[in-house]
Amino acid sequence: VRTVRVCFDRGSYPVRVGGGLLREAGNILANAGFAAPPVLVTNPRVWRLHGSALLSGLEPTFGKIHRVVIGDGERFKNHATLSLIYDGLFRARADRHSWILAFGGGVVGDVAGFAAATFMRGIAFVNVPTTLLAQVDSSIGGKVGINVPQGKNLVGAFHQPSAVLSDTSVLRTLVPRELAAGLYEVVKSGAIRSEPLVRYLETTLPQILGGDPECLERAVVAASRIKAHVVAADEREKGLRMILNFGHTLGHALEAATDYRRFKHGEAVAWGMAAALGFGVETGVTDPGDSHRLATLIHRVEKLPGLGGIEFDDLWTSLERDKKFRSGRLRIVLIRRVGEAEICADVDRRGLRRYLKQFVRRPGGVEA
Ligand SMILES: NC(=O)c1ccc[n+]([C@@H]2O[C@H](COP(=O)([O-])OP(=O)(O)OC[C@H]3O[C@@H](n4cnc5c(N)ncnc54)[C@H](O)[C@@H]3O)[C@@H](O)[C@H]2O)c1
């Protein structure tokens, strides 16, 4: 088991990463100071696959655990689910000293974390992420929230967990596409912050995609460390934290322009990174060799769903609506060299528009 510590303005918390952690969860959390049983929030799929392992870890320490089972999928990251969690907390007679254990992917973590941020003006929560995306990205950093009809993640809070337990052995039950989608966030971490991580992915990609426990654990630790460092430096997303959005500006627009149906989030980010690399080369920011190297890695992960049929005007409209894109000047994250990101604060709108228009038509161009 490896530990990454996340520091923020009012404290710090451990992210523990390792195979088989679920069965040790009770001991770990008791040592971290939790005495009462948590209210556990999960979804049916995660519970069916891994609930018994988690219970075997928790029950000897905490006894009977209250459980709230929410719907599976992004469409359940909403107000109704939040109410369901509050109801569960009241039924469990929760008070200000109670705590939530979020057991699932990013959806469970975000909505359960938001319930924790708001119930009785904020109670503690522990994240036990079960997808690769959630382990390397969404469980760390304290952003919690829900979607509303007006858009994704538009209602939320910053509420740091008390601990994160990433049991890498649960990743073996992910469908391959889900594993790949999470892996793009690992590629992103390397691209913005760590050439050694990129090199590691280049050499161990087949093992990682094949579920090799040691390789997966190393990748999760490396990416968690990067996210922890960046978040520690900029908890409230005022500056540096923006580099975590590499590939996300266009990624979000691609998701929106295809009604969130065609791409997994990570896949849209993969296209976003490929486009940002090409644009970086065109504007002289990105080293062409490094762009080629990263684009090659991105395309080795899996065959991405194509960009065919996407109306460029829809894409551009979505892009301009992006909350990070909207305010005044156009900012976008580019890569200077592998492991080094740069926030370009004043992007030429027309140039970007022209570039993206041709990219969407012939995305393969960036690979050459
Ligand atoms: N808070 C943040 O900083 C942050 C960052 C990135 C993404 N997010 C959010 O995360 C969400 C996406 O997270 P996600 O990709 O984990 O999606 P998800 O939570 O929907 O999980 C994807 C699917 O995998 C299933 N699953 C989970 N664990 C499994 C396992 N071990 N084995 C088999 N199946 C399993 C889930 O039931 C679901 O069907 C989005 O809502 C996004 O907005 C938040």
Least confident of 69-78, 107-116, 146-155, 285-294: 146-155
Q: Hey, which residues are catalytic here?
A: 121, 143, 185, 227, 237, 241, 245, 248, 252, 265
User: In a 10 Å sphere around its CB, with 0-12 CB exposed, 13-18 middle and 19+ buried, how is residue 284 labelled?
Assistant: exposed
Ligand 1 centroid–CA 351 distance in Å is 34
Give me the sheet containing 39-42, strands edge to edge: 2-8, 11-18, 163-167, 124-129, 99-104, 39-42, 66-69
74: left (phi over 0), alpha (psi -120 to 50) or beta: alpha
Q: How far is CA 28 from the centre of its chain?
A: 24
Is any ligand 1 atom within 6 A of the Cβ of residue 293? Answer: no
Is any ligand 1 atom within 6 A of the Cβ of residue 268? Answer: no
**Which pLDDT value is given to residue 323?**
61
State the helix-helix crossing angle for 79-91 and 106-118, rounded to 10 degrees: 60
Q: How far is CA 367 from the centre of its chain?
A: 25
**Which pLDDT value is given to residue 130?**
98
**Which pLDDT value is given to residue 367?**
43
Is any ligand 1 atom within 6 A of the Cβ of residue 134? Answer: yes
The whole-model pTM stands at 0.95
Binning pLDDT at 50, 70 and 90, where does residue 222 land?
Answer: very high
**Which pLDDT value is given to residue 80?**
98
* Mean pLDDT, rounded, for 105-117: 98
Q: Could you give the CA distance from residue 177 to residue 7 in angstroms, rounded to a whole number? A: 32
pLDDT in tens, 283-325: 999 999 999 999 999 999 999 999 999 999 999 988 887 766 6
Of 240 and 195, more confident: 195
Q: Could you give the CA distance from residue 16 to residue 8 in angstroms, rounded to a whole number? A: 17
Is any ligand 1 atom within 6 A of the Cβ of residue 363? Answer: no
Ligand 1 centroid–CA 203 distance in Å is 26
366 has a pLDDT exceeding 50: no
Nearest CA to ligand 1 atom 41: 107
